[in-house]
Amino acid sequence: MRLDEIRICYWLSCFAVLMVILSPTLAIVVKLPVRERFSELWIVGAGQEAKDYPFKVTVNETYNFYLGVGNYMGYLELYRVDIKFGNQSDPFPDIASGNPSGLNTSYEYHVALRNGEHWNDSLEFSISKASLEQNVLLVNELEINGYTFDVEKTAIWSSQDEGYIYRIFVELWIYDDSLNAFAFHNRFVDVALNVTVPF
């Protein structure tokens, strides 16, 4: 090896050692572009398109739509998808304050997704028990994916919507290591239902 080659190797080695030593400082000074981290939550109709959502719903008839979650958080995430049932006066989740709706969870999915992965599944539901009395509809039971839940939700006749309006809320929760529990991930979607009782 010639003297010039030895000098080049020496200076390259010094430069490499210097970069290793200075890398923490450089990481503070040099800001590399960070990709936005987010999660997706969606509902699509029975044909797995953004149409054909069930709206006019008859008691004891079965309907379905599809739920989906996408992970772009940069690493593996554990999600919980909560299904809640409410009437037209129940408040939506409050995105501004990060609070979920106060409704009870009727059904939930648990999903683990790597970064870039998606999950979707069918949600099949029916209102299995309801009664109508003096312009007030009481939904007693909701069936989701073959499981029956007591919901006991009333709705009054809406002349604007020409029906008894209920909603299925879908909330996205994410596992928080610091809490050692699931936390509301500030994402929700809903489907409005105009429920009728056959005579």
| 110 and 142 both lie in a single domain | yes
SS (H, E, C) the chain: CCHHHHHHHHHHHHHHHHHHHHHHHHHHHCCCCCCCCEEEEEEECCCCCCCCCCCEEECCCCEEEEEEEEEECCCCEEEEEEEEEEECCCCCCECCCCECCCCCEEEEEEEEECCCCEEEEEEEEEEEEEEEECCEEEEEEEEECCEEEEEEEEEECECCCCEEEEEEEEEEEEEECCCCEEEEEEEEEEEEEEEECCC
For 156-174, how does the pLDDT look when each residue is reduced to its tens digit (9 = 90+)? 998 888 899 999 999 999 9
Do residues 103 and 90 touch, judged by C-beta distance below 8 A? yes
- Quote the pLDDT of residue 124: 96
The more confident residue out of 45 and 18 is 45
| 16 and 95 both lie in a single domain | no
| 11 and 99 both lie in a single domain | no
User: Which whole number is the average pLDDT over 38-67?
Assistant: 92
| 19 and 51 both lie in a single domain | no
| 3 and 100 both lie in a single domain | no
Round to whole Å and give the CA distance between 121 and 48: 10
User: Which whole number is the average pLDDT over 11-32?
Assistant: 64
| 4 and 89 both lie in a single domain | no
| 27 and 47 both lie in a single domain | no
Round to whole Å and give the CA distance between 155 and 52: 24
User: Which domain, by its residues, includes 71?
Assistant: 38-196
pLDDT band at 30 (very low <50, low <70, confident <90, very high): low
| 104 and 159 both lie in a single domain | yes
Burial class (CB in 10 A: 0-12, 13-18, 19+), 20: exposed
Burial state string for 109-120 with b = 16 or more CB within 10 A and e = fewer than 16:
bebebeeeeeee
| 54 and 106 both lie in a single domain | yes
| 8 and 27 both lie in a single domain | yes
Provide the domain count of the chain: 2
| 73 and 6 both lie in a single domain | no
| 11 and 84 both lie in a single domain | no
